[in-house]
Amino acid sequence: MLQWDMAAVMPDGGAAARGEQMAELREVAHELLVDEEVGEWLRSAREDAVRDGAEAWHLADLDEMERDRRHAVAVPPALVARHSRAASACEIEWRGRRDANDFAGVLPSLREVLGLVREIAAAKAEAFGTTAYDALLDEYEPGGSSAEIDRLFAELSTFLPGLVDQVVEKQRAEGAPAAPQGPFPVEAQRRLAERVMRGLGFDFAHGRLDTSHHPFCGGIPEDVRITTRWNEDDFLRGLLAVVHETGHALYERGLPAAWRRHPVGRARGMSVHEGQSLLVEMQVCRSAAFLGWLAPVAREAFAASPPRKSGGVVGRAGMADDGSWSTAALRRRATRVARTLIRVDADEVTYPAHVILRYRLERAMVDGALDPADLPGAWRDGLREILGVEPPDDRTGCLQDIHWYAGAFGYFPTYTMGAMTAAQLFDAARRAAPRIEAEIAEGRVDSLLAWLREHVHSKGSSLSTHDLLVQATGRPLDAGIFRRHLERRYLRDEAA
């Protein structure tokens, strides 16, 4: 909650004090967890559980407790506090430096954060018997490995470049879709977003929507906080960010209440978490069925907004009867594929390329093969190589994402693993509950959410990511399902 407050509400002048507060809390929690008496309690609890034939969830709970302690014991408390303070300060500095396109200004702070991350990674790698990068990855993707990521990303790389070429050429031949002209007032965008969130099952008695520099979802299951950023020239950007974060929120709200405050009751890693957000954003909200519902609702939302005066003429944004509000036009805009610079605005076909680039760069920084000072050039070269575009500045390049400046290394691969997870879960859900499509066409997801509650949310961390996916879909993570989804939506124009 302190993190949300810092991002959404706190004045900039409170940054130093907030950094100290968060560092102190993390250090105290760390010291409690590494106390040798806690280790004795866990060993005793494990013996009792095995002897008494404890339920599977109880054993999984102990697994998660031991995993938490293993991570904590590997790192000295003072290092935890230093990393927390440095990351909080760097995140605040990044906000201003990004807007000013000033990578050189934030470089010293980033270098400090990376140095501490590398110390933590080295300590954990030695304790776990893994590589430094895999030790960091395990914080976000329990049991994950760079070897498995390399295999999956290599499989994606065999078909994605050609697919991007095919789709871009197909859409170029069709011509650019008509787009309603803004500005789209932020308050009208917020009202529309809240209406969509309610249809998706978001409970405003246990959550809220705010504005921040970077969209995110945080808080606790009883109090879920979503933030987004708005663009008055393109209402889809803010809306799609909202529905993405709503997917995260629905997962948090659906975690088993009986296991609250138990580690086993937490979400099962970030590839599953990103799978929930991308399922809602990509599988549901960019589908033909949903966009058919959204088109008239969106037009109504902005027709009802206060009129704007332009060139002496009073009118409402984008209300010309030129077909730009039609379902077909909205669908073409929401599924437009382009080699763009900004990850959070990328389409689902090119999005994996953004993630693969970041994975390569952060792994190189953690391994010491890439100095942070060389990050802007490596970013430009890498994006040109993998996607054929080059950022004109650092604001649209290596300054665009918050993760590294907030000390989060090892997170990025989970986005694309999540995209594959989303396609696989949605495929299974739709086969199990055929009425899902009709409900999406009405702007709601009752049957889909019920299926996710049963097969994903209610499991918490009682299963490994692999076992969770196998139980829910009948197979481990399969890039082929993701490929078929993309080909069906973007090459054959079939409803997804």
Distance CA 306, CA 188 (A): 9
Residue environment code for 120-153, b if the CB has 16+ CB neighbours within 10 A, otherwise e:
bbebbbeeeebbbbbbbbbbbbbebebebbeebb
Distance CA 339, CA 486 (A): 16
33 touches 238 (CB < 8 A): no
376 touches 397 (CB < 8 A): yes
Residues 6+ apart with CB under 8 A from 282: 348, 419, 422, 423
Asked about 390 being catalytic, the answer comes back as no
Q: What's the token pair of residue 425?
A: 């879960």
Residue bearing tokens 């949310």: 457
The one catalytic residue among 112, 141, 245, 348: 245
Distance CA 336, CA 25 (A): 45
Q: Which long-range contacts (CB under 8 A, 24 or more apart) does 339-345 make?
A: 339/164, 339/168, 339/387, 339/388, 339/389, 340/389, 341/383, 341/389, 341/391, 341/396, 341/397, 341/400, 342/396, 342/400, 343/400, 343/401, 344/214, 344/215, 344/241, 344/400, 344/401, 345/237
Of 422, 495, 449, nearest to 200 by C-alpha is 449
Residues with catalytic roles: 245
